[in-house]
């Protein structure tokens, strides 16, 4: 698929990287991946997909993450000062406030660098074709990361105070949600644990050989 520059369409990305990496035991955003780090690759994939504005929500070791993006254009870092006690939804809400001027935004876990550029583009094209408010990729019929969320949904997410985080907050828009089938295994692989990280590295190696 041809890579199309969608920056003029004001598509944004919010990358979540505020956590403590407790389960991993090492700080996963800065772990090596591909030719750089997990967090840099995650952001680079968004940029390659034509995302015009990227917000990285940091918390723990925020200064070290900031050092990775000193020379990057259109990448803004926002710190969640409540990262030790807050929920992931709080980071989502902080990020969305920074992209309220955009048409829509991807919400991407910062430890999922294997999501294919083509997947981001498919979601964008689907939203343009269907006028959906939320678009998810699906693999084997199950929803995966990342959702693409239209800005008209942001106020409801900012004001959501229930349990279940973003997943439940987005249930308000089920009627306007569309799913796009993909073959992208990268949508399923994160780095929560060391075993996950090894799987991520193995997947990257297999992709490099194809």
In this structure, what CATH number is given to the domain that contains residue 101? 3.90.550.10
- Is residue 11 in a domain? yes
- Domain of 102 in residue numbering reads as 7-209
Using a 10 angstrom Cβ sphere, with 0-12 exposed, 13-18 middle and 19 or more buried, the burial of residue 29 is buried
In angstroms, what CA-CA distances link 171 with 135, 156, 195, 202? 12, 11, 31, 34
Beta bridge partners of 12: 53, 105
Supply 87's token pair. 């929920």
- Is residue 2 in a domain? no
- Is residue 119 in a domain? yes
- Is residue 69 in a domain? yes
Residue 9 is predicted with a pLDDT of 56
- Is residue 83 in a domain? yes
Q: Where are the beta strands (DSSP E) in the chain?
A: 11-17, 32-33, 36-37, 53-58, 75-79, 104-109, 134-139, 142-143, 148-150, 177-181
Residue 5 is predicted with a pLDDT of 45
**Structural domain tally of the chain?**
1
- Is residue 1 in a domain? no
Phi/psi at 152 (nearest 5 deg)? Answer: -65, -15
Q: What is the Cα–Cα distance from 121 to 4, expressed in whole angstroms? A: 8
- Is residue 145 in a domain? yes
Residue 25 is predicted with a pLDDT of 80
- Is residue 22 in a domain? yes
Over its C-alpha atoms, the chain yields an Rg (Å, rounded) of: 16
Show pLDDT as tens, one digit a residue, over the chain (210 residues): 333 444 445 899 999 999 888 888 889 999 999 989 999 999 999 999 999 999 999 999 999 999 999 999 999 999 999 988 778 999 999 999 999 999 999 999 999 999 999 999 999 999 999 989 999 999 999 999 999 999 999 999 999 987 889 999 999 999 999 999 999 999 999 999 999 999 999 999 998 876
Supply 12's token pair. 């944004």
């Amino acid at each position: 698929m041809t890579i199309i520059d969608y920056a003029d369409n004001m598509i944004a990305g919010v990358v979540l990287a505020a956590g403590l990496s407790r389960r991993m035991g090492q700080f996963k955003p800065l772990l090596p991946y591909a030719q750089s780090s997990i967090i840099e690759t995650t952001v680079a994939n968004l940029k390659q997909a034509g995302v015009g504005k990227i917000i990285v929500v940091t918390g723990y070791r925020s200064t070290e993450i900031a050092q990775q993006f000193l020379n990057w254009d259109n990448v803004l870092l926002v710190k969640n000062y409540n990262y030790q006690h807050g929920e992931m939804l709080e980071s989502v809400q902080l990020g969305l406030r920074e992209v309220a001027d955009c048409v829509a935004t991807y919400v991407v876990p910062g430890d999922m660098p294997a999501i294919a550029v083509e997947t981001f583009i498919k979601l964008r094209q689907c939203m343009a074709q269907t006028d959906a408010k939320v678009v998810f990729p699906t693999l084997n019929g199950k929803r995966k990361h990342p959702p693409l969320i239209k800005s008209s949904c942001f106020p409801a997410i900012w004001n959501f105070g229930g349990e279940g985080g973003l997943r439940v907050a987005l249930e308000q828009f089920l009627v306007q949600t569309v799913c796009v089938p993909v073959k992208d295994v990268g949508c399923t692989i994160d780095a929560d644990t060391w075993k996950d990280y090894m799987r991520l590295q193995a997947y990257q190696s297999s992709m490099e050989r194809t």
